[in-house]
Amino acid sequence: MMRQYELVERVAGYIDKPNEALLNKAYVYAMQKHGEQKRASGDPYFSHPLEVAAILTDLHLDEETIAVALLHDTIEDTDATRREIDELFGERIGHLVEGLTKLKRLDLVSAQAKQAENLRSLLLAISDDIRVLLVKLSDRLHNMRTLGAMRPDKCKRIATETMEIYAPLAGRIGMQDLRDELEKLSFKYIYPDAYTAVIGHLEELAEGNKSLTEEISRTLEEKLAEFHIKATVSSRQKKPYSVFRKMESKGVTFEQLSDIYGFRIIVDSIEDCYSALGVVHREWAMVPGRFKDYISVPKQNDYRSIHTTVVGPAGQRVELQIRTKRMHDIAEFGIAAHASYKDGDNIVLESNAYESLRKTIEHLAEGDNAEEFMEHTKLELFFDQVFCFTPKGRIIALPNGATPIDFAYAVHTDIGNTCIGCKLNGKIMPVITKLQNGDEVEIIRSKKQTPPAAWENVVVTGKARSSIRRASRQSIRKQYSTLGARILERAFDKAAKSYSHELLEAALPRLARQSLEDVLAEVGRNEMSATNVIKAIYPDFEVDENTTPFKEPRQSEEGSDKEPSGRIPIRGINSDLPVSFSREGGAVPGDNIVGILVPGEGITIYPAQSKTLAKFKDDGANLIDVRWDIEEASKERFPASIRVLVENKPGVLALVANVIAQNDGNIQNLSMKVLVDEFMEMEIDIDVWGLTHLTQITKQLNNKSITTKVERIIG
């Protein structure tokens, strides 16, 4: 176990005149508090915080962070208190130690909820001070190194959590060495058989290729020296978990992998990076599609390097990374590499990686609950990235698999909420297209747009998901509130009673509701009757047949300019009301229509002649008097279904489809069946502008010689 003076010497190796008093006091305090405590392995418990501190000295962290590492389990596992630590070590250290204390007393139902709440607490603490994460990662690394003393089931659970959360977090702040070790140790417990096989293959390959890798390194150094470029070249073997992941994702065997080995070229300056790249590409053929310039466009975790793959001197593929020494330090140690810069007595750990992480956490914190936070975190923090551009050249970094919808929300929430389409590299494309590195994305917007709820299953960023959920909830609630207001206006009119929002607000206590919108939305969802609202405002009101809010809907002559008063106007699905259309043949403008209020689903519109309406005949309270109110400029189509009986001949389907297309109809679904050898029946779901448009299509189909009969289907 490392002694007190050895710890001070380690810190003195990279900090001039370290605060020895702080380190000594933290060492003695933690050792006394943990006393005779033992770990599962039987080792003294104090050996754990001491090893965590040692890991952090390898990363050249400041004295405060080392002290926090020594103290990080005292509040949780001993009789130490936050107040006592504040008094002895200062509030800043006390705050960091508390941020690392696990939530052992959480009264949560599920283990998943507990894990999610722990992660939320950790990430929010990270947003205050990144050193919380550095200590936590070092704590997890030492726990993983000593995990073998635990029960197998506990080992797998901890390893899975490490693989899913802590290893990706290390990657997000650029600490690749630490991430690699966490993944390797987790891999060992999650997939033990695969781990043993991959490790065996890699060791065998390393032994057999030793001379080849040395030859390639020597050849690269010699070629670069010819052009007066001072460089250090080293080979690296792909990490075990990376090999396994690639075998799984590509569906290939170990022998089929061609990029087990790569080489790093470390040079003195950025200019030398590009000069070295020129030498390499001049000497060996580049593999198309395998070049990335992360110097020009760094990753969010501050990673900078040039990646290229060439066909090497022996005809094999050779992966190369070209970077400066400073870039290499950041690539290996990530945000901890910034600790070498001091500001007075404090180590400065600010970086683009930390700022990016902090902003992401702010977006994630908008989630409604801990599990949602966990879901968004896994989506947004732990994916590889693609870099896309706005039309003005702004770079937007997104998780791999992101869509233009994610892009829109990354630019601004309002842009996401009003997105109706996109252009990728100048070409109109579906908004669900997966983005690629370098794509220029232009978002097409409409102020009338509300993000469809289905988008939630398409996007991959937490910000987009939470924004879509919020906008959908608000939009649906607003629709039901609008419908509820219209229902109440009709009901009060029929009851010959005055209605106003002020009167309703005064009656809220009698309805046991908190807000006006609560009542309106419940009436719109048919969860509260309009009659109850009338009684809340007018307690002496008596219901009779003449004042029942909903009666058998009235029908007017088709084309009449005089619509009965009080009918609720129907403008289509994309309106301010929760409207859908009957699946049994739909309804189109020009039809006499009936609305059925379905609890929780809004109004379903049926043609008045629909046979389905018979089942609602005895349930008058669900029938709503509705009318069409379609603007001439409306671009919305409406669903209808037709049945076409045609001769069974080659080319008949194309002919029918062509007639519909020429008449601007839009086929949504089609089914066919042969009745007898000579005849075939088609049932076609078609979107049209209205009844006149539908009649035009059916008439054109009837005029064809191969057509025997065309009729509209209304269930």
496 conformational bin, left if phi > 0, alpha if psi -120 to 50, beta if neither? left
Whether residue 271 has pLDDT greater than 80: yes
- Long-range CB contact pairs, 106-115, < 8 A, 24+: 112/371, 112/374, 113/370, 113/371, 115/161, 115/374
Report yes or no: 365 and 124 within 8 Å, Cβ to Cβ: yes
- What are the residue ranges spanned by the domains of the chain? 4-192, 196-339, 461-541, 550-636, 638-712
pLDDT of residue 565: 47
Q: Which residues contact 303 (CB under 8 A, 6 or more apart)?
A: 174, 176, 294, 330, 331
pLDDT of residue 318: 84
Q: What's the DSSP call for residue 307?
A: E
Q: What is the pTM of this model?
A: 0.56
Report yes or no: 254 and 198 within 8 Å, Cβ to Cβ: yes
Measured between its terminal Cα atoms, the distance across the chain in Å is 81
Residue-wise pLDDT tens digits, 591-633: 988 888 876 667 888 898 888 887 776 655 577 778 888 877 6
Fold of 638-712: Alpha-Beta Plaits (3.30.70)
Fold of 4-192: Hypothetical protein af1432 (1.10.3210)
Q: Which residues contact 690 (CB under 8 A, 6 or more apart)?
A: 588, 589, 590, 630, 638
Whether residue 562 has pLDDT greater than 80: no
CA angle 142, 148, 151 (to 5 degrees): 120
Report yes or no: 348 and 341 within 8 Å, Cβ to Cβ: yes
pLDDT band at 209 (very low <50, low <70, confident <90, very high): confident
Whether residue 673 has pLDDT greater than 70: yes
For residues 690-695, give the mean pLDDT.
92
pLDDT band at 549 (very low <50, low <70, confident <90, very high): very low
Cα separation values, 285 from 30, 181, 282, 440, Å:
59, 34, 7, 29
Two tokens at 219?
């050849």
For residues 456-483, give the mean pLDDT.
83
Higher pLDDT, 304 or 113: 304
Give dist(CA 396, CA 217) in Å, integer: 36
From 20, 43, 58, 77, active-site residue: 77
pLDDT of residue 501: 86
681 carries an active-site annotation: no
Whether residue 269 has pLDDT greater than 90: yes
pLDDT of residue 346: 45
Residue-wise pLDDT tens digits, 395-419: 787 888 899 999 999 899 999 999 9
**SS3 of residue 318 by DSSP:** strand
73 carries an active-site annotation: no
Amino acid identity for residue 42 in this structure: G
Q: What's the DSSP call for residue 698?
A: H
Q: Pick from 109-123, 203-217, 248-262 the range whose average pLDDT is largest.
A: 203-217
Least confident piece of the model among 10-19, 104-113, 329-338, 485-494: 104-113
Number of residues assigned to the chain: 715
pLDDT band at 354 (very low <50, low <70, confident <90, very high): low
Q: Which residues contact 570 (CB under 8 A, 6 or more apart)?
A: 577, 579, 593, 595, 603, 605, 626, 627, 628, 629
Whether residue 107 has pLDDT greater than 50: no
Residue-wise pLDDT tens digits, 40-81: 888 999 999 999 999 999 988 889 999 999 999 999 899 999
Least confident piece of the model among 2-16, 34-48, 243-257, 654-668: 243-257
pLDDT of residue 80: 93
Least confident piece of the model among 243-252, 359-368, 530-539: 359-368
For residues 227-250, give the mean pLDDT.
89
pLDDT of residue 324: 95
Whether residue 559 has pLDDT greater than 90: no
CA angle 191, 193, 194 (to 5 degrees): 65
Position of tokens 């500001």? 343
Whether residue 216 has pLDDT greater than 90: no
Least confident piece of the model among 379-383, 528-532, 598-602, 661-665: 379-383
pLDDT band at 380 (very low <50, low <70, confident <90, very high): low
From 20, 76, 493, 629, active-site residue: 76
Consecutive H or E run containing 206: helix 192-208
pLDDT of residue 311: 86
Fold of 196-339: Beta Polymerase; domain 2 (3.30.460)
